[in-house]
Structure 1
Amino acid sequence: MNTIVIAIVLVSVIGILAGILLSYASKIFAVKEDQLFIDLRAELPGANCGGCGFAGCDDYAHALADKSLNTPCNKCAVGGPAVAEKLAGILGTNAGDTERKISFVACNGTNENAKKLYDYKGVTSCKAAKTLFGGVESCLYGCQGLGDCEKACKFDAIHVCDGVATVERDKCTACGACVAACPQHLISLKPESSLVIVQCSNKDMGKAAMAVCKTSCIGCRMCERTCQHDAVHVTDNLAVIDPEKCVNCGACAEKCPKHCILNLSLKAKKVEEKTA
């Protein structure tokens, strides 16, 4: 019995001594954090999404704190303009361009509009499907609809609806995860103020494009002729809008015979009318 008690006491004493030594060592060898880093990190949302181009919020805060790097304050997509302004205030600099950006899928190849190339039964992955005859869709440029972007999004902001990826604009943080995940390169980040967008990526000639999707751009140049601001041009058989010149008048969307140009302001108005 005495042996057991002695063993327990001995182990307890060793544990206490070890705890004291570790506590002392942690204070002696502690790495002092820069107060500037602490202040900057406190303003970041902690999403660690990597949308800023850094490994996480800590890494971004360290880069901001090192003034020799001149890291911009507006790289936190999740925090947006509000966080950029706070970071700039701490650093005493300008926040720069802080307009919110939103992911946009340049495809309207829904189950009704686009033709399937075959009935895919493999791994539920756009990247995997693309290795088999270029994908499940007849349109080689279109959304595969298998949800790689949906799986990549940490904010539940993008979902596959009716065979094509759709972004919930209110939830999107512009972290860029869906952009990186899409093997078709259909997703890009657009300024929130860009409300007239081409919802197609097909670069085939008109007849070939029409054969695979009802709403594919056919390069007819009607949008180009309609625009009074020189904001839209057909390049490689596909309409391209210059956001710097576009005034969101929606004239090109109204005249497009294939309805492949989306006027988000008009769409929002229709939603409001339905919910009113």
Structure 2
Amino acid sequence: MSILIPVAIISGLGLAFGLALSVSAKVFEVKVDERIAVVREMLPGANCGACGYTGCDGFAEAIVNEGVHASRCPVGGIAVVNSISDYMGVDEGSIDLNVARVLCQGNCDNVKIKYNYQGLDDCHTANALSSGMDACHYGCIGLGSCKKVCQFDAIIVENGLAYIDADKCTGCGKCVAECPKDIIALIPVLSGFTVKCNSHDKGAAARKNCNVGCISCQKCVKVCPVDAIHMDNFLAVIDPTKCINCGECAAVCPQHCITNTIVKNAKLKPNPAG
């Protein structure tokens, strides 16, 4: 009998605490919109942060609770934006997808080398040593720091130069942030012609350092029929909002540093999910 009394007391306390917790859970319950889970499932799950939020969970909450448009997810592409917009009952709006481009053609065959680098395979480390081993201080170092942060396997490094596969690139921007030379830029997929050079050296110096660098001749500026090209500190820059993709600039460029980089049917093809 003496054993049953403590057991009964403990059981009673357990029941009381259980009821109290149950009531508290109901009283202090924070209701979660079921749409958040649905939207979260539609997102690619890359958690890259390119949307401006900590990950896909935070972005899903922002879409549902704050009305943020799904087009801020560069990884999902058209398909994800359309699906979420249809589910949320909002206009798909204007969707401008970007793709990363390496604004340099200075591989080992084109650029002169100052010294043989024998350090870590890291662009930041090499850049700290006299701005890298290339004579051009503005070009790609070619040690693949951008490749290491790309979670979509869209970047390869060959012959001392990084190349980006537009079909795999989602425009997340991680490579842009990683590059110590700022030679990777996010460019609209429908932009046709791009100056693939980042050098701000004067013409003679640029030509001496690299076979395919912009030499500030301004031939492209003069031939452009829509005034879409201007010079920025000895470097030709094309305004994608004005460019009509006529190709006149590329035709007259003596250094062949203006190339057609348009991604065909970009509006029709969804980007791969991570």
Compute the TM-score of the two structures, normalised by the length of structure 1.
0.83
Contact kept? 2:190, 2:263, Cα under 8 Å: no
CA contact (8 A) 1:81 1:99 kept: no
Cα displacement (A) at 1:265: 5.7
Match of 1:198 in 2: 195
State which of 232, 249, 255 in structure 2 corresponds to 1:252.
249
2:52 corresponds to:
53
Check the 8 A contact 1:217/1:260 in 2, yes or no.
yes
Q: Does 1:40 align with 2:31?
A: no
Match of 2:268 in 1: none
Unaligned runs of 5+ in 1: 1-16, 268-276
Root-mean-square deviation (Å):
2.2
Distance 2:139 2:93 in 1: 35
Shift of 1:37: 0.8
Deviates more, 1:213-222 or 1:47-56: 47-56
Contact 1:194-1:243 within 8 A present in 2 as well: yes
1:266, CA displacement in angstroms?
A: 11
Asked if 1:151 is matched to 2:148, the reply is yes
- Structure 1 residue ranges (4+ consecutive) displaced by more than 6 angstroms after TM superposition: none
Cα deviation, 1:78-121, whole Å, max 9, x if unaligned, reads 11122112222233322333132110010000111011121111
AA aligned opposite 1:96 = G
Structure-2 change in CA distance of 1:152 and 1:265 (3 Å): closer
**How far did 1:28 drift?**
4.7
Name structure 2 gaps, 5 residues minimum.
1-13, 265-274
- Matched residues in 2 for 1:155 and 1:97: separation? 25
Higher helix share: 1
TM value normalised by structure 2:
0.83
Partner AA of 1:66 in structure 2: N
What is the aligned-residue identity percentage? 43
Alpha-carbon separation, structure 2, partners of 1:227 and 1:116: 34
CA distance in 1, matches of 2:234, 2:210: 15
Deviations 1:193-231 (A, max 9, x none): 112100000011101111110111011100011111111
Contact 1:149 1:158 in 2 (8 A): yes
Equivalent position to 2:102, from 97, 105, 108? 105
Supply the distance in 1 between the matched residues of 2:155 and 2:31 (Cα, whole angstroms): 41
CA offset digits 1:160-218 (Å, max 9, x no partner): 12211101011111111111110111111111111210000001110111111011101
Looking at structure 2, the residues matched to 195 and 245 of structure 1 have their Cα atoms a distance apart, in angstroms, of: 11
Aligned residues: 243
Report if the CA contact (8 A) 2:189-2:263 is conserved. no
Indicate conservation of the 8 Å contact 1:198/1:260, yes or no: yes
Give the equivalent residue in structure 2 for 1:95: 92
